[in-house]
């Protein structure tokens, strides 16, 4: 059965929101919706429910459209306190309660006369995709809880859904090209389609999944990896793929579980020298991304010792990727996944940006400077300093610890 226009619009919008939370989330909504708001400005609310945290975004756009698509700007962003909604399996109602603070902030910004006409969405990404695989009833309970909270608020709630990975990747591509002015630009008092433009690719590293999306030069041979859409009077066809279990948090979990296969003492090459911690083994194997054998004793604890060896760290991380399955194939990435030859410049965001920003590498430094900085940082010792009785981050010496 085909989706209705409202369902298609809904899924598309949530994909954009989850991809990067920039400025483009209501493009297709303002093309298709028949919600009547005052002529000057309309508003929309999107909750981006990621694997590690949830963010709220308020968007606004003028009533007039350009080539049947809205020109959108971001009016507010608000970080929800607490973890991602997939963490509330033991008490789903708290997933809904966690949204209220930011929702109140959004409603304070939007004129009260427009509250009931403000379309509101919640889109969940890879964290909830993993939970749905592991325990579908828990995932449904969490979605029901957040839906109840938002349904009881004075907005036009359109629903809460778990996004497909392809949607997340495709609309990340739209977002970055929109923000860079590749899809539309303002010139001589009007919005026009840029005559000379170079579409860029998108790399999105989340907590549980990572996405790659770009417009290849040649045909896309695997139709399941193709996304097509029409924006501002132009048609687009891109390649996009989402790798579940290859987000930052899940990769680190998978790596630790692999290193702990044969011993309760893990000498971790990716952790700073001087780091030492004891933690239970069982939580590592709660994720569907981690393979568990029957012979494994999940009741034991792990002792994790950092050795700060970047060369061994790279080798350990590479072992999580199956490159041999793509050997001598130009249209293959890893793990046997089809991918046409990459083309054009790429922009990396989400956890790519957070990491590079921490290392002061966001000023277009050349690759050899980036590699040298990362290599030297990984060889720094782990050190903690007490500040007001709480352990805190010491820049350049170690990763953040709990306050």
Hey, what are 207's tokens?
């907590």
φ, ψ of residue 160 to 5 degrees: the values are -130, 130
**Which residue's structure tokens are 């005559």?**
195
Q: Confirm whether 168 is a catalytic residue.
A: yes
Q: Is 258 exposed, middle or buried (0-12, 13-18, 19+ CB in 10 A)?
A: middle
CA distances from 264 to 176, 299, 306, 309 (A): 44, 11, 14, 20
Q: Cα dihedral sign for 109, 115, 119, 120?
A: positive
- Alpha-carbon gap, residue 403 to 251, rounded angstroms: 24
Catalytic annotation, pick one of 168, 195, 305, 312: 168
Residue 102: phi, psi to the nearest 5?
-70, -35
**CA neighbor of 292 nearest in space, from 258, 317, 268, 318:** 258
Both structure tokens of 94:
């708290």
DSSP for residue 194? -
Contacts of residue 338, defined as CB under 8 A and 6 or more positions apart, other chains included, come to: 221, 222, 225, 241, 331, 332
> What contacts 24+ positions apart, CB below 8 Å, involve 27-30?
27/69, 27/70, 27/72, 27/174, 27/178, 27/231, 28/69, 28/229, 29/70, 29/119, 30/61, 30/65, 30/69, 30/70, 30/72
Which residues belong to the active site?
A: 168
């Amino acid at each position: 059965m085909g989706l209705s226009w409202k369902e298609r619009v809904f899924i598309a919008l949530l994909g954009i929101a989850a991809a990067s939370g920039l400025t483009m989330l209501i493009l297709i909504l303002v093309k298709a919706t028949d919600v009547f708001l005052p002529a000057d400005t309309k508003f929309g609310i999107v909750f981006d429910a990621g694997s590690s945290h949830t963010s709220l975004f308020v968007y606004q756009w003028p009533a007039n459209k350009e080539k049947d698509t809205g020109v959108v700007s971001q009016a507010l962003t608000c970080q929800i306190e607490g973890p991602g909604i997939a963490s509330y399996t033991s008490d789903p109602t708290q997933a809904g309660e966690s949204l209220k603070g930011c929702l109140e902030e959004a409603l304070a910004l939007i004129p009260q006369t427009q509250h009931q006409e403000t379309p509101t969405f919640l889109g969940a990404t890879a964290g909830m995709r993993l939970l749905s695989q592991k325990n579908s009833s828990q995932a449904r309970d969490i979605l029901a809880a957040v839906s109840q909270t938002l349904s009881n608020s004075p907005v036009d709630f359109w629903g809460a859904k778990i996004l497909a990975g392809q949607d997340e990747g495709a609309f990340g591509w739209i977002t970055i090209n929109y923000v860079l002015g590749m899809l539309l630009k303002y010139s001589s008092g009007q919005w026009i389609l840029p005559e000379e433009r170079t579409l860029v690719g998108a790399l999105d590293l989340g907590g549980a999944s990572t996405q790659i999306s770009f417009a290849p030069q040649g045909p896309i041979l695997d139709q399941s990896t193709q996304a097509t859409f029409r924006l501002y009077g132009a048609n687009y066809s891109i390649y996009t793929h989402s790798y579940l279990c290859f987000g930052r948090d899940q990769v680190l979990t998978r790596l630790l579980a692999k290193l702990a296969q044969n011993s309760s003492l893990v000498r971790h090459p990716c952790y700073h020298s001087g780091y030492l911690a004891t933690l239970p083994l069982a939580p590592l194997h709660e994720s569907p991304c981690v393979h568990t054998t029957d012979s494994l004793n999940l009741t034991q604890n792990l002792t994790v010792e950092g050795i700060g060896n970047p060369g061994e760290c790279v080798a350990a991380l590479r072992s999580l990727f199956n490159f041999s399955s793509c050997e001598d194939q130009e249209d293959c990435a890893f793990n046997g996944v089809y991918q046409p030859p990459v083309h054009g410049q790429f922009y990396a965001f989400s956890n790519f940006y957070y990491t590079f920003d921490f290392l002061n590498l966001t000023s277009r430094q050349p690759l050899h400077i980036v590699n040298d900085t990362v290599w030297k940082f990984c060889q720094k010792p782990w050190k903690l300093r007490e500040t007001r009785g709480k352990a805190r981050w010491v820049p350049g010496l170690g990763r953040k610890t709990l306050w």
